Structure 1
Amino acid sequence: MATKKKAAKKTAVKKKKPVILIVNDDGITAPGIRNLVEAVRDLGKVVVVAPDKPQSGMGHAITIGHPLRLHKVDPFNGIEAYACTGTPVDCVKLAVDKVLHSKPDICISGINHGANHSINVIYSGTMSAAVEAAIENIPSAGFSLLDHSIDADFSGAKVYARKVVELMLSTKLEKHTVLNVNIPVLPASHIKGIKLCKQAYAKYEEDFIERTDPNGRHYYWLTGEFVNFDKSKDTDVWALNNGYVSVVPVQFDLTNYSLKEKLEKLW
C-alpha cells in the first residue's frame, strides 16, 4: 500500500502543470498580450502581471520614486491577472515576490506591437521584462510582431509563439536563457519556419523634428530611418525579411570578452 501511495505521488508530481508568467510593455489591455494568453493558456498555469498603461521604450527601468500598486483584473476569461502601475521590469519583480511567491517555470513577454530585432532589444520594455526574469533564474522569451497597428493580425504570431513556448517547456534550458523572438507579418501558412540567428548590426539613423507649439515654445519629435549595416544571412533582420521567425538568444552579461583580453595585454 505504501508503495502504491508513493507511485501516486510521483505521478501527481509529473502531471503538475508548469507555471507560465506572462508580462508585456504595451499594457494589460493590448491585443498582443491577449493573443499571447490565448496561444498558451492550455500549456500550464498561466498568470499575467502587466502594466496598467503602455510602457514601450522603457528599457530596464524600475520604479524607485513612488509606490507601486497591483490591481486584480479579469480581461482574459478566468486567467489570474493583475494590472501594475509600474514598468515591465517592476511587473516581473512583483509577480515573483508578491503574486506567485515563487519562481515560475518560464516567463514570456509580449506579444509586442512592433519589431524588437537588432538594436531595438536595448530599448525594449518587452525584452527587458524577459531579461529581468532571466536575472532571477527564470528561462524567458520576448515575442514581437513586426506591426505597430492596434488592428494587427496576430494569427501567425500566435501559432509560432505557441511553438516556441512548447519547445521551451520540453527542453532543459539553462536558468539564464533569454530568447528574443520576432515574427514577420505573414499568415502562419506563409511563414517558412523558425531560424536561430544572431542580432544584426542595424539601427535608426535618428533625427529630431523641431516644431513650435501654440504658445511659441519649441518642442522636438524623435524620428529616423532604419538602416541595416549587416548584410550577412544569419541575422534576425535577414530572417524576418525572408519570411522566417527569428530567434536570437541574448544575455545580460555585457562584458566584451575579446576586448578584455586585448586590454589585459596592453594595459
Structure 2
Amino acid sequence: MYTTIISAEQLLALESSQQPYMVFDCSFDLAQPDAGLQSYRAAHIAGAVYAHLNDNLSAVGEAAESGGRHPLPLMEAFATWLSSVGFANDMQAVVYDRNGVNYAGRLWWMLKWAGHEAVAVLDGGLQAWQAAGGAVNTGIEPHKFSTNFVPAQALTALVATETVVKNLQQPNQTIIDARAAPRYKGEIEPLDPVAGHIPGALNRPFGQNLGPDGKFKPASQLREEFEALLAGRDPATVVHQCGSGVSANPNLIAMEIAGLGHSGLYAGSWSDWCSDPSRPVAKGEEK
C-alpha cells in the first residue's frame, strides 16, 4: 500500500501486479479551467481518469462541506463521483498532475478525508512517468464500469472557520499559509477581494517542497525545513491553508513524508476567511 508518494518505477511495477488500482490525472489551470482537460486529452497515463478541480473536486451548487472559492463537495456527492468512474474501496489510488502537485494534492487529501488510506501522489508527475518510459494515451478513456465506493472514518482533519477563529494565535493552533510570499504579505492579491494573511500564520509556499526535478525533497530535508519554520511549535498543532484549500495540500503531504504526523486543513482558506470583513487581516512578515 502506498500512502504518501509513489515513484514512476513503483507505478510501473504496480501495473504488472495483481493489486487493483486506479490512476487520476488532476491537471488544471485556475486561469483557464478547460486547459487541464485539454492537456489530459493530449497525453495522459494510459487508463487514467480525469479529475476536474471545479466539476469533480469542488461543490457544484449550494450544498458544500466548506466555504471559499473551491468549497469541498458533500461527502455523498464525492463518493457518488468516485463510484461513477469505477473507483472501489479495495483499490490503490495514484494521483498526479503537471503542476507540481498543486492539484493532485487536493484529490489525495479528499480520499484521506473519505477514509481511504491507499492513495499516493506520483512523485514528479506526468513528466517523471514519461521519463521512466511509461505508456501514455490520448483522448478520453472509455467508461468501463461503476462501483459502490463507501466512505469510512476520516483519516485527516477538516478544520472549520469557527475553529480557526476560536484558536487564533493560541498555542494549540499553528497556521501554515502555502501561498506565494507576495500574496501572504499582502503586496498583491490576484484572486481574492482582500490582500493579506490570517494573523499569526507562518508562510511556506507549496513549491518549496519540491526539488529541481519536480519531486519531493528527501524526508530528512523536509523535516529539517519544517522544524526550522515551526521554531519549536508542536507539529500536531498545524493547520494548513492557502487561497482556496488546494495548494495547501502539498505542505500537508510533505509533513507526512517528513514523519511529522497528520495535520489539519482549513479548506475554506484565505478566500473564506476574507469573505467576512469582521475577521482580522495581517500584512507583511510575522515576527
TM-score (norm 1): 0.36
TM-score (norm 2): 0.34
Q: Is the strand fraction higher in 1 or 2?
A: 1
Higher relative contact order (CA 8 A, sep 6+): 2
- Decide which structure has the larger Cα Rg and report it: 1
